[in-house]
Amino acid sequence: MTLLALGVALFAVCHLTLALPEAKAALRRRLGKFFGPGFGVVSLLPLVLIVLGWRSAPLEIVYDAPSWGRMATFILVLVAFLCLGIFLFRGKLRQALRFPLAWGVVFWSVGHLCANGDVASLILFGGMLLYALAHLGLGFANGVRPSPEIRQGHDVISIIIGVALYGVFAQLHPLFTGVPVVTLTL
């Protein structure tokens, strides 16, 4: 569980930098054109730690998930992926949500906490929920806003991409987590 907690903590530290304009600007100045790719590479380490930590964590139940938990997860994770799609494109929805990726993490986390009551889930989804709320709080407090550039048609594209990513990740979920999203029995 230490690996999982470490991964979540590193993820939060890496990404909270983006909600602090002065820290982000300093990194951008220091790294120059390597800021984007460098941040992407550095962001992969916490994700690897999270996946490895999750897969190696023992199942220790803290609470029984409610009967409606799985359905809530399907809906909230779909909303999370719609937020991801909105984050990826420069439409009016991105301006309206202001922090679509952080909102997506909130929906993803809450959804998974509705369906999972074990210690590893509390560390992962609870930790990511705390990170996303901190990101939103810091972002709003510091007046962070997305680029004002709005591109025609990007709202529609963002929704289509969000739904497509939801479908793709539902198929890849067992690969990363060892847990199938849906199990079909005959």
- Nearest partner of 75 among 49, 40, 46, 112, judged by Cα: 112
104 in the Ramachandran plot: left (φ > 0), alpha (ψ -120 to 50) or beta? alpha
Chain mean position to CA 73? 14
134-177 pLDDT, tens per residue?
999 998 998 888 888 899 999 999 999 999 999 999 999 988 88
Question: What's the whole-model pTM score?
Answer: 0.89
* Domain boundaries, given as residue ranges, for the chain: 2-177
pLDDT of residue 184: 58
Query: What one-letter code names the amino acid at 142?
Result: N
What are residue 5's phi and psi, to 5 degrees? -65, -40
34-81 pLDDT, tens per residue?
888 888 888 899 999 999 999 899 999 999 999 999 999 999 999 999
